[in-house]
Amino acid sequence: MEPIFAQAHPPAPRIIGAVNWRGLWTLYLKEVRRFLNVFTQTLLAPVVTTLLFLAIFALALGGAGRQAAGVPFVEFLAPGLIMMTMMQNAFANTSSSLLIAKVQGNIVDVLMPPLSAAELTLGIAGGGVTRGLAVGLAAGLAMWVFVPLRIHDPAILLFHAVNAALMLSLLGMIGGIWAEKFDHIAAVTNFVITPLSFLSGTFYSIERLPEAWQIVAHFNPFFFLIDGMRYGFIGRADSVIALGLIVVPTVNALLWLLAHRMFATGYRLKP
Amino acid sequence: MLQPMAMAPAPRRFGAVNWRGVGALYRRETVRFYRYAWESLAGPATSALLFLAIFHFALGGGEIRPGISLFAYIGPGIVVFMMAHSAFEGGAIPILFDKMEGMITDVIGAPLTPLEILAGYVLPVIANAMTVGAVILMLMAVFVDLPVHSVTAIIGFAFGASLLLALLGLVIGISVVRWDGYSAVETFLVAPLGFLSGAFFPIDNMPEAVRWVFHLNPVFQAVEGFRYGFIGQAQTSLVTAALVLTGLSLVLGLVAWRMLATGYRIKP
C-alpha cells in the first residue's frame, strides 16, 4: 500500500525575525515598479513641466541681467523648481498608491501579509522617496543643460532633498489613507500642496514679501525645504540653515508617527 | 382581451435635428462640470491666482511696456491658458472615459447623427471653459486693475480658443486608447503649446530669429487676440489670429466628424 506523504512533510512556515525583510523589500519594489511602469507620466512629464516653468520664468523675468539673491535669476530659480517637482511627485506617488488600492479593494494585498505598521510605513514611504529623488535628479540633469548649476554644499543639498521627498511621501500617505474619493485627494493637491509648493519661495526670495508674511513663512516647513535646497546649490539662504536642520526632521518624525499610527489602528483602512 | 401592441407608445418623432438627444448630451457634460466644480472650476481659479501672485512677488509689479502694467499683460494670458486647458480636458476626458467604461454604446446606440454627437460633446465644453475664464477674470478684477478695450475681441477670442481646444481634445480623446496616451499628449503637446504661447511673457524677450515659431502656435494667436481685448495691442494681426483659429477649428471639426461618422476607434 502506497503511503500518502503529503501530510507528513508540509512546507515549514517561513520564520520571520524581528523584521520581515523579504516582505518589506517586496512592498518597496511594488511601489517603485508601479511608477516605473508608466514612466512617461511619472518621470518624463514632470521633467518637461519643470523645463517649461524654467522657460517661461526665464523669458518673463530673466532678461536684462536680472538677479535674485545675488545670483542670476535662473540659477536662483532652478533649485526651487527641482524642489517643487520633487515635492509634488513624492506626494502624488504615495497618495495615489494608497487611494487607488483602497478604491479598487486591492489594499487587502498589502494589509494581509505579515507586515507590521512600521514596515508598511517604511515600504510605501520608500517608494515615494525614490520617485521624488528620481524626478529631482532627472529634472536637475535636464536643467543643467540650460543653466550652469553649481553645487555649494552636497551634504546640505542631499539632506534637504531626502527630507523633502520623505515629508511629502508621508503627507501623501496620510492624505491617501484619509481620503475616500479621488475628489478628496485632488482637493488636497489643488488647494494645499500646490499653493504651498508655489508660494514657499520657489520663484522669489521671501525678502520680497511683506514683513508679516516673512514671519508666517517661518511656520511653513516647505519654506525651510526650498530654502535649504537652494543653499545647497548657491550657498545663500533666506533663513538660518541650522533652524531648518531642526524643524524639518522634527516635522518628519511627527508625520511618521501619525502615518504609523494610522496603519497600526487601521484608520479608514480596515472595516 | 387586451391587445398589447395597440397599447405600445408611439415612436417619438423628431425633425431634421434630434434636439432632445443633443440637449441630453449637453446637460450631461454641464451637470458633470458643476458636480465636480471644486476640481473643474475652483482648481483652475486657484492656479490662476497663484500664477498672478508668483509673478507679482517675483517681478515686483511694474510695467511690461509703457502704460501697460504687468497684470494687464499676463492676466489675460493666464485666463486663456486656463480656458485652453479646461477645454482640452473637457473635450478629451468624457469621450475617453465613455470608451474605457463601455458607456459609449449608450451614445452611438441613440438616434443621433455624427454631427449631433459632435455638438453634444463639444458645445457644453465651450460653455464650461468660458465659464472658467469668466470666473477667473472676476476674481482677478478683485485684486488688480484690468483695462477693457474691446468686449467683442474678448468674447470672440475666448470662444475661438475654447472651440479649438475642445475639438482638439475630442480628436485626441477618440484617437488614444488608454489614459497614458491622453496624458502623453497633454504633457508633450498641450502643455508646451500653452506655456510657450506668450501667455506669461512678451515675445519681444525672444531673439528675433525664433519669434516666427511662436506665430505658428494657435494658442499664441488666441492669447494675443484675447489680450488685445484688454490692452488694445497685439503682436499679431487680429485678422490672422481669427483666421488661424477658425481654419484650424474647421479642420479639426471635420476630422472629429469623420471619426464619429466612420466609428474610428469607437465601433469595433
Is the pLDDT confidence value at A5 over 60?
Answer: no
Interface of A with B in 188-227 (CB under 8 A): 190-191, 194-195, 198-199, 202-204, 208-209
pLDDT digits (tens, 9 = 90+) for B31-44: 999 999 999 999 99
Is the pLDDT confidence value at B267 over 90?
Answer: no
Per-residue confidence at A214, pLDDT binned at 50, 70, 90? confident
pTM: 0.91
In a domain, B10, yes or no: no
> Is A49–B187 a contact, with Cβ atoms under 8 angstroms apart?
yes
In a domain, A72, yes or no: yes
Q: Supply angle C-alpha A20, A22, A26, rounded to 5.
A: 115
pLDDT at A8: 64
Is the pLDDT confidence value at A226 over 80?
Answer: yes
pLDDT at A12: 87
Around Cβ A236, how many Cβ atoms within 10 Å? 15
pLDDT digits (tens, 9 = 90+) for B121-147: 999 999 999 999 999 999 999 998 999
Cβ contacts of B202-208, under 8 Å, gap ≥ 24 = B202/B64, B202/B65, B202/B73, B202/B235, B203/B235, B204/B235, B205/A59, B205/A60, B205/A63, B206/A59
pLDDT at B5: 61
In a domain, B209, yes or no: yes
Around Cβ B228, how many Cβ atoms within 10 Å? 22
> Is B205–A204 a contact, with Cβ atoms under 8 angstroms apart?
no
CA-CA distance, B191 to B126, in Å (whole number)? Answer: 19
> Is A44–B187 a contact, with Cβ atoms under 8 angstroms apart?
yes
Question: Considering its fold, how many domains does chain B have in total?
Answer: 1
CB distance B88 to B168 below 8 Å: yes
In a domain, B48, yes or no: yes
B70 or A187, higher pLDDT = A187
Distance, in angstroms, between A82 CA and closest chain B CA?
Answer: 17
pLDDT at A3: 59
**CB < 8 Å to B57, chain A:** 203-204, 208-209
CB distance A264 to A117 below 8 Å: yes
pLDDT at B87: 98
pLDDT digits (tens, 9 = 90+) for A88-136: 999 999 999 999 999 999 999 999 999 999 999 999 999 999 999 999 9
In a domain, A100, yes or no: yes
| Residue A162 backbone dihedrals phi, psi, to 5 degrees | -65, -45
Q: What is the mean pLDDT of residues B2-7?
A: 62
**B182 — contact with chain A (CB < 8 Å)?**
no
For the stretch B118-146, what's the b/e string if a residue is b when 16 or more beta carbons lie within 10 angstroms of its beta carbon? bbbbbbbbbbbbbbbbebbbeebeeeeeb
Is the pLDDT confidence value at B250 over 60?
Answer: yes
Distance, in angstroms, between A75 CA and closest chain B CA?
Answer: 14
Q: Which of A17-21, A164-168, A236-240, B54-58 has the highest mean pLDDT?
A: A164-168
Q: Which domain holds residue A155?
A: 45-59+67-265
If you average pLDDT over every residue of chain B, what do you get?
A: 93
**B192 — contact with chain A (CB < 8 Å)?**
yes
Q: What percent of chain A has pLDDT over 90?
A: 76
Question: Considering its fold, how many domains does chain A have in total?
Answer: 1
Q: What is the mean pLDDT of residues A225-252?
A: 94
If you average pLDDT over every residue of chain A, what do you get?
A: 92
Q: Which domain holds residue B231?
A: 17-262
Is the pLDDT confidence value at B1 over 90?
Answer: no
When mean pLDDT is compared across A220-229, B51-60, B235-244, the lowest value belongs to B51-60
Q: Which three cell numbers stand for residue B203?
A: 515675445
In a domain, A32, yes or no: no
Q: What is the mean pLDDT of residues A9-20?
A: 87
> Is A183–B38 a contact, with Cβ atoms under 8 angstroms apart?
yes
pLDDT at B90: 97
B216 or B70, higher pLDDT = B216
pLDDT digits (tens, 9 = 90+) for B67-97: 888 899 999 999 999 999 999 999 999 999 9
**A183 — contact with chain B (CB < 8 Å)?**
yes
Instruction: Supply the DSSP string of chain B, one letter for each residue.
Output: ---HHHHSPPPP---SS-HHHHHHHHHHHHHHHHHTHIIIIIHHHHHHHHHHHHHHHHHTS-EEETTEEHHHHHHHHHHHHHHHHHHHHHHHHHHHHHHHHTTHHHHHTSS--HHHHHHHHHHHHHHHHHHHHHHHHHHHHHHS----S-HHHHHHHHHHHHHHHHHHHHHHHHH--SHHHHHHHIIIIIHHHHHTTSSSS-GGGS-GGGHHHHHT-HHHHHHHHHHHHHHS--SS-HHHHHHHHHHHHHHHHHHHHHHHHHTTTT--
pLDDT at B4: 59
CA-CA distance, A84 to A223, in Å (whole number)? Answer: 11
Q: Which three cell numbers stand for residue B23?
A: 440637449
In a domain, A22, yes or no: no
Is the pLDDT confidence value at A7 over 80?
Answer: no
- Chains A and B form CB pairs within 8 A to the count of 85
**Residue for cell digits 482640452?**
B88
Per-residue confidence at A57, pLDDT binned at 50, 70, 90? confident
**ipTM here:** 0.88
When mean pLDDT is compared across A64-68, A104-108, B112-116, B196-200, the lowest value belongs to A64-68
CA-CA distance, A62 to B200, in Å (whole number)? Answer: 13
CB distance B176 to B95 below 8 Å: no
Of A63, A194, A208, the CB nearest to B57: A208
pLDDT at B100: 94
Closest CA to A53 of B135, B191, B171, B37: B191
Q: What is the mean pLDDT of residues A247-253?
A: 97
**B187 — contact with chain A (CB < 8 Å)?**
yes
pLDDT digits (tens, 9 = 90+) for A58-71: 888 766 677 888 88
In a domain, B161, yes or no: yes
Q: Which three cell numbers stand for residue B260?
A: 464619429
